[in-house]
Structure 1
Amino acid sequence: MHALLDLKDVPQLADLPNPPGQLFFIGKPHKQLFQNCVSIVGSRQITEYGKRVIELLVPKLVFEKKVIISGFMRGVDQYAHRACVENGGKTIAVLGWGIDTILSPEDKKLADDIVSHGGILLSEWQTQRSTLWTFPVRNRIVAALAQEVYIIEAGLKSGSLITANWAIKLKRKLFAVPGSVTSRVSEGTNMLIANGLAKMWCGIQQPTQKSSDDPILHALEQEPLTINQLSRNLNKPIAELGASLSLLLLSGQLVERDGVYYKK
């Protein structure tokens, strides 16, 4: 453990109206580590859809030499940290508690993997225990350190929306991943997109572009259908279809009335 007593190595934090006076860390930080950062945050209740999104997004960012920042919480945060390490990237875990806090064996292993791959654990406290106020305070650092912030999954009361709000205030690029209209952990991300607060991230190939090869669009060309009918016709689970339908609705290729989907 060491202490950074000034902001020379992390000038992005000077954008905050209330920057931390000092930062404690585990690992070997250097100036270059903070120069090309992207934050990935989201729900603690990560879904299989959220995992697939991270598995698609993180390798792309690592290939682009981005450093992945997240908050080291169970769910989206730790899945993003782990995916980064597994793809040979560097990641910064910004903690919502003091740097001297004893971690569980599972968390300790992930922390060790982060450090051994050139990343760091970071906190503005040395001995502070986690409380309801420490996580929102931590979130401002997660947003400030990054050039881009990605919200993978978030409910309407998710702490990730605090990070999103800081990203907007600090003029960071904000992306949100659209999800199923029936999923509680996508209500927050869908709201950010619908209100024009975040740019919709739809994957490397931008799958919301019109395509005659999309089986959903092809099925709806024949007749309007409910999600249950689509599930039977396409032999796909409703949960998987829900995410795809959300993308198509948000991109304006479909409309939905009383549970029935129509192709525009």
Structure 2
Amino acid sequence: MNKDVNNRHSLTITSLLTKTSTSIVTLTLLLSLTLMLPNQANAASKEYESYKRIKLGMTVTDVAKSIYGKSYKSHLKEENNVKTLNSKFLVKDIQKDYKYYHFVYYPKKKSKGNLFEYRMSIIMKTKQKGNTLYVVEKSYEPTKPSSKSFYKGKKPKEGTTLTTVDKSVSGKGLGVFVSHYTRDYSKVGEVVGKNKVEYSKKETWIYYNTQSSTGKTKYSLPFKYDYKKKVYILN
């Protein structure tokens, strides 16, 4: 378990400028989206509501409708023989066998070098030899994540469910998460090396910041969703 408060899936340009996006922490799930996403994360936020509406497997047109509503057509364009979003992107990879776009939304702040950090990320890719973009990854970071304290004598333990950890910290559970990330390449395929394509199954992660009862020890808690047990489990 990583006790470093730095989130290995944070939405920064330095952590996202690779097409595999394995370092970030990104739903067509077996459960409904409301069961998969915690309610604590800025539930009233329009940005978060927008994030929840976007599902893995959506086409680029579906995404445009979800984000922009009736004006969605004005946010689409044709290029490189594929329909895509006319939106800010970090990475665009146009290959003979596939097209890949990494879009970002909601800048958090302006930093040195004119670089921005973004709270929402959407990655879309075509199937091999295809020309339709599908959502394969997405991630979100709330503006004000919580940092709850464990009760005296309590500390995080790998294999524990999120519900159990909820009861081990002060206040109303773990509160607002640091980041949420989900991905699914099972139908589209992910290019991981030269002439190598993997069809990895969907996975979902959620991260929380916590600390010991004294505040001296900081924890970053990564929970992975178990689709069979239908619970988040601390890894």
**When the two structures are superposed, what TM-score results if normalisation uses the length of structure 2?**
0.29
**When the two structures are superposed, what TM-score results if normalisation uses the length of structure 1?**
0.27
Q: Higher relative contact order by CA 8 Å / sep ≥ 6: 1 or 2?
A: 2
